[in-house]
């Protein structure tokens, strides 16, 4: 059996963390078993579905490295297929036409609520053998008696009383398929073997299984994931900025780090914390899932990102670094190949986020450094300017290698009998405008001898 999973978001908003984790677990399970991962956009809600949301979902999945097999399925383009499935259910006696008005259904619901009963359709039209018209919907014939038992990977065996289930509408007036019918039709056609989704879909499962059974289709294996809570233990709002996947890119997280963090929200492999995508594909399976809800920990996620910054390939870091530089209006094209490679290597090793790495490179990528007035007033005193005036001739005389700069710095510190920062900080502020940069050796090496001396002279005459 070929394992086939699917991720089926509705393009009514941005891809949030809960959806991204669902997509990741489906992708990992399929790839671990050498199977297929299907991407389906459930865009039948014409009023709320937006093209920009679809594009954002696809961009988010691509950014975190989740590829899919075949073309993206769009439910809005499959209406003809859904009509065929609806007629199949009608012809087999598993569905019927209903002409109950909205007014009648409202009155029925209100009377049931007043009597303390669970609101549900009373099946008035089930045996009337109505014909299709513009005024009818199509309802599914839910079994009237018995139980439906479903085995869930995390929740074990779950029993549903058929008498508690409604005859749900599977086609609206005019023939448009509803959510449950479209989901079942697509899962059947794509031969989905495992459905891994949030436990907010648990109540949908018996309805969809009944339709699958009526169609004579194979029943997938189900796994319903607990939700992700925010750092305070509350349900995370889809509208919260922190829930948007691409917001993490803007904050400077690596895709590898976000995938690592998402995987650990509900799955574990011993006490391991750090994983590459390749590690996750090799190790992931459903027996590592936790049935308890997971809580996002921003500090832990930032730690994971910092760890991954030094672990990822230079190509992945370079791609994200250039993306952030572009957003800041910076370019590395003015740097020679050696300097550019050194900058990336230095910033990759020392920074917590890629955005931080890009922002802390402005002193090198701009013609003139942006001055931090607080740092300038603290370190550019008459005494330190006098010191810099003394150091310039010495810098002019040394070879411009990291080893030579380091040796000169150590000799100067010993000669002056001062702490390293007494020399390093005035130099750093003079040439970068800030008290924060890579080591002074790397800073001067990256800037180059000519630019370093020019900036030191400019600082003295400011």
Q: Which of 238, 300, 378, 449 is catalytic?
A: 238
DSSP of 290-344, one letter per residue?
A: -SSPEE--HHHHHHHHHHHHTTS-HHHHHHHHHHHHHHTT--STTS-HHHHHHHH
Q: What is the CA radius of gyration of the chain?
A: 31
Give the pairing type, strands 4-7 and 228-229: unpaired
CA 164 to chain centre: 37
Q: Is 299 a catalytic residue?
A: no
Residue 180 and residue 211 in contact, taking contact as beta carbons nearer than 8 Å? yes
User: Per the structure block, which two tokens stand in for 430?
Assistant: 């003079």
Task: Tell me the C-alpha distance between 384 and 431, whole Å.
Answer: 13
Alpha-carbon distance of 439 to 151, in angstroms, equals 58
Buried b (16+ CB within 10 A) or exposed e, 158-190: eebeeeebebbbbbeeebbbbbbbbbbbbbbeb
Task: Please tell me the distance from the alpha carbon of residue 53 to that of residue 12, in angstroms, as a whole number.
Answer: 6
Active site residues: 238
């Amino acid at each position: 059996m070929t394992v086939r999973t699917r991720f089926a978001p509705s393009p009514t908003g941005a891809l949030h963390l809960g959806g991204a984790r669902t997509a990741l677990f489906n992708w990992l399970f399929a790839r671990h078993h050498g199977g297929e991962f299907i991407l389906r956009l459930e865009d039948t809600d014409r009023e709320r579905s937006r093209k920009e949301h679809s594009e954002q979902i696809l961009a988010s999945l691509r950014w975190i490295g989740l590829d899919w097999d075949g073309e993206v399925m769009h439910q809005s383009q499959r209406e003809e297929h859904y009509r065929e499935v609806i007629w199949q259910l009608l012809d087999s006696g598993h569905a019927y036409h209903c002409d109950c008005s909205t007014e009648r259904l409202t009155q029925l619901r209100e009377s049931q609520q007043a009597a303390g009963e669970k609101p549900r359709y009373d099946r008035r039209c089930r045996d009337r053998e109505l014909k299709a018209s513009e005024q009818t919907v199509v309802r599914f014939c839910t079994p009237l008696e018995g139980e439906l038992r479903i085995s869930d990977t995390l929740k074990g065996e779950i029993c549903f009383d058929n008498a508690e289930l409604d005859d749900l509408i599977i086609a609206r007036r005019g023939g448009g398929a509803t959510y449950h019918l479209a989901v079942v039709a697509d899962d059947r056609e794509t031969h989905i073997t495992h459905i891994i989704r949030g436990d907010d879909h648990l109540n949908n499962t018996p309805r969809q299984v009944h339709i699958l059974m009526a169609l004579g289709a194979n029943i997938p294996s189900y796994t319903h994931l607990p939700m992700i809570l925010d750092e305070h233990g509350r349900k995370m709002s889809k509208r919260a900025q922190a829930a948007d996947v691409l917001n993490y890119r803007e904050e400077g997280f690596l895709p590898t780090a976000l995938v690592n963090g998402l995987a650990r929200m509900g799955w574990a492999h011993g006490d391991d914390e750090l994983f590459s995508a390749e590690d996750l594909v090799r190790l992931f399976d459903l027996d590592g899932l936790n049935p308890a809800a997971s809580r996002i920990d921003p500090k832990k996620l930032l730690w994971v990102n910092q760890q991954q910054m030094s672990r990822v390939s230079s190509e992945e870091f370079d791609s994200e670094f250039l993306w952030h530089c572009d957003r800041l209006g910076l370019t590395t094209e003015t740097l020679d190949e050696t300097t550019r490679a050194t900058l990336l290597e230095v910033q990759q090793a020392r920074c917590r986020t890629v955005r931080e790495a890009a922002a802390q490179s402005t002193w090198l990528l701009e013609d003139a450094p942006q001055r931090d007035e607080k740092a300038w007033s603290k370190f550019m005193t008459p005494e330190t300017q006098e010191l810099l005036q003394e150091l310039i001739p010495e810098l002019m005389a040394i070879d411009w290698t990291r080893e030579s700069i380091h040796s000169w710095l150590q000799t100067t510190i010993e000669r002056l009998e001062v702490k390293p920062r007494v020399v390093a900080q005035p130099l750093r502020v003079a040439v970068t405008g800030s008290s924060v940069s890579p080591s002074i050796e790397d800073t001067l090496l990256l800037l180059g001898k000519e630019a370093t001396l020019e900036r030191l002279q400019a600082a003295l005459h400011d």
